[in-house]
Amino acid sequence: MAVTEDTGTAPINGKPQSWWSGLSLASVPTPYWFVGAILLLLPVLVGPFMLFQVFGWALILGMIALSLMFLGGYGGMVSLVQMSVAASAAYMLAIFGESAITQISLGWPWWVAIPIALIIATAFGTLTGALAVRTEGIYTIMITLAIASAFFYFTRQNYVLFNGFSGFNGVTPPELFGVDWRQPTPFYYLTLFWAAVAYLSVLYVSRAPFGLALQGVRDNARRMEALGYNVTAHRIAAYVLASFIAAVAGILLVWLNGQVSPGTAGIGPAIDILIIAVIGGLARPVGPFIGAIIYVLLRTFALDFMVSIGLSGERFQLLVGVVFLAIVFWSPDGILGLWERWRNRMNSTDRLTGKARDNDGGSEV
């Protein structure tokens, strides 16, 4: 992770820096090196199941939730359509590329099918955005939810293009450079690479004029108009970037599962993305990935846990729900919020004396 999340700005009269300022490796704090090293060495540390089904899946869900974080955290727009955008990319790859459903799939080579899938999915997300940006708050949620459910029912009922209830199976990544990308370790590195690209892009753009202006729109849309910004155009542009990230994640998702069906983009998964983003925290791009890993661990191991305490295994959603409730109750800004409050308490200084406070957080009189 080569970009710090430091939002501070150095004094103007410092040494001249250019657009890559903040990208130098020396400015990366130690914890980032640590996390980065663990992520890179993970194939040595954990087994193929953890690598593929847990971390691979978590990185993909994290990317989709990241696209929601970009819209919600920076743009103030909560979109429930991100999972549908990812699923539409997955469907398009299955339709234009190769799958087991040969009577529908066109079987075009991957280097044609993937760009087409990305473009169509991004266009779909952008179009949804163009409809949604004229509304605010709960109405944005309702419009995107309506489009997400329309997409779900459409794919389930359309057999000509989307193969209805069963969808497409047998969608596999291409063999490239002599590597079978469906194998756990290569696939893990593939998702890790794209997740890192998505994460760093969002981080970088957040401090670029476009990202700053988006945060301005979030804080005060009317003032942004009065500063010369076309707020509607800015919001739609945010959907373009978010949809593209979700579309890339969708391609990885169909390779992970080997299949895509209406269930991929159901209302449940759409809301799960929101849950992931909220659990992790919407304030910073790392939040969605934290949320995704917690969500995937719960989904994977809740069943065993429920059985071990004598409850029926199919009630695993109960545990997911309880954890979600607990996090939102104790920390409305997610795990990130918990972490930041803890760190502030550790580092807090007394405003009057400038001395470090006791670590119990109590203020001196």
Chain residues binding other proteins by CB under 8 A are 7-12, 14-22, 204-205, 207-210, 212-213, 215-216, 218-220, 222-231, 234, 237
Give the nearer residue to other proteins in terms of CB position, either 128 or 206: 206
- Least separation in angstroms between CB 235 and other proteins: 12
Nearest CB to other proteins, comparing residues 11 and 178:
11
Single out the residue of 188, 175, 170 nearest to residue 49, CA to CA: 188
Q: How far apart are CA 213 and CA 193, in angstroms?
A: 28
Question: Min. distance of Cβ 232 from other proteins in angstroms?
Answer: 9
User: Could you tell me the smallest distance in angstroms from the CB atom of residue 240 to other proteins?
Assistant: 10
Minimum distance from residue 204 beta carbon to other proteins (Å): 7
Q: Which is nearer to other proteins, 235 or 299 (CB)?
A: 235
> Which CB sits closer to other proteins, 12 or 44?
12
Strands (E), 143-264: 168-169, 259-260
What is the rounded CA–CA span in Å between residue 294 and residue 317?
Answer: 13
Q: How far are the Cα atoms of 83, 141, 189, 276, 295 from residue 320, in angstroms, in the given order?
A: 19, 22, 28, 11, 7
Cβ 327 to other proteins shortest distance, Å: 22
**E-strand spans in 240-300?**
259-260
| Residues facing 100 on adjacent strands | none
Q: How far is the CB of 229 from other proteins (least distance, A)?
A: 5
**CA atoms within 13 A of residue 212's CA, in its CB half-sphere:** 4
Count CB neighbours of 329 within 10 A.
8
Nearer to other proteins, 40 or 212 (CB): 212
Q: Which is nearer to other proteins, 23 or 116 (CB)?
A: 23
